[in-house]
């Protein structure tokens, strides 16, 4: 028994290329092709394919919105989202919309078939070639960015050193140290030392503090 696939993309040549790729694998059977969301969604309801391959941008709407609607109606349908857009936002949007897989259009057609295979087996999981990198990029801190010198000053502040002690430790003038401190306050949106240190901990800029009050 082969898996039924429906292709939704507004470009004939893309659909043609993908449909041939699916025909090359005996475990798939392309049951329909659509160039618009309206047509595609109608076909989904009529044919109930096991896997839908859908483009992010279609002439009559967003493939991601359609993915959300399809997922709401059917928890067990495999949904492969295709895109020409770059950027992690697309990948995470597909994940949040309930897609089973995400494949950029620069990948070979075999990747689309492999993604569809995964989607048919476990529609409620998510796979994407770039997933690990995207997760790493997402976990990098995006909060306030301090210059290396400011980080040093922040660490000394967190140790409880006063302005003159910080200046002596870093071999800088007191007024320079004060400038660094006021910059740090600005960046962290803090009005005093305690607030600055709390924001810095929250933003992951410093780990340990020994507060000497």
Residues near other proteins, by CB under 8 A: 11, 13-14, 16-18, 20-21, 24, 57, 84-88, 104-110, 133, 137, 140, 142, 145-148, 150, 163, 175, 178-179, 181-183, 185-187, 189, 191-193
Q: How far is the CB of 49 from other proteins (least distance, A)?
A: 20
Question: Which tokens is 112 given?
Answer: 């689309």
- Closer of 25 and 29 to other proteins (Cβ): 25
| Residue 103, H or E segment | strand 101-104
- Closer of 46 and 189 to other proteins (Cβ): 189
- Closer of 116 and 146 to other proteins (Cβ): 146
CA distance 77 to 71: 7
Q: How far is the CB of 35 from other proteins (least distance, A)?
A: 12
Q: How far is the CB of 181 from other proteins (least distance, A)?
A: 7
How many helices and strands (H and E) does the chain possess? Answer: 10, 8
CA distance 77 to 122: 9
Phi, psi of 78 (to 5 degrees): -75, 130
- Closer of 74 and 144 to other proteins (Cβ): 144
CA distance 71 to 54: 13
- Closer of 146 and 200 to other proteins (Cβ): 146
- Closer of 69 and 178 to other proteins (Cβ): 178
Q: How far is the CB of 7 from other proteins (least distance, A)?
A: 12
Find tokens 């967003």 and name the residue: 62
Q: How far is the CB of 169 from other proteins (least distance, A)?
A: 17
User: Are residues 196 and 188 in contact, defined by beta-carbon separation less than 8 angstroms?
Assistant: yes
Q: How far is the CB of 45 from other proteins (least distance, A)?
A: 27
Q: Which of 29, 78, 84 has the alpha carbon at shortest distance from 55?
A: 84
Q: Which of 74, 56, 52 has the alpha carbon at shortest distance from 6?
A: 52
CA distance 36 to 50: 19
């Amino acid at each position: 028994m082969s898996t039924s696939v429906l292709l939704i993309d507004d470009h004939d040549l893309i659909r043609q290329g993908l449909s041939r790729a699916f025909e090359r694998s005996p475990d798939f059977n392309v049951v329909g092709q659509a160039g618009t969301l309206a047509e595609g969604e109608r076909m989904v309801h009529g044919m109930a394919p096991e896997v839908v391959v859908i483009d992010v941008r279609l002439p009559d709407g967003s493939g991601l919105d359609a993915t959300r609607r399809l997922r709401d109606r059917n928890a067990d349908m495999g949904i492969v989202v295709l895109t020409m857009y770059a950027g992690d936002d697309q990948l995470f949007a597909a994940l949040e919309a309930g897609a089973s897989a995400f494949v950029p259009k620069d990948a070979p057609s075999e990747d689309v078939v492999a993604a569809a295979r995964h989607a048919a087996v476990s529609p409620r999981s998510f796979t994407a070639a770039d997933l690990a990198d995207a997760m790493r990029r997402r976990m990098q801190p995006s909060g306030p960015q301090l210059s290396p010198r400011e980080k040093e000053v922040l660490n000394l502040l967190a140790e409880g050193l006063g302005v003159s002690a910080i200046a002596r430790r870093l071999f800088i003038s007191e007024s320079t140290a004060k400038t660094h401190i006021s910059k740090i306050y600005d960046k962290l949106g803090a009005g005093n030392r305690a607030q600055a240190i709390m924001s810095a901990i929250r933003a992951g800029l410093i780990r340990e503090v020994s507060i000497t009050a």
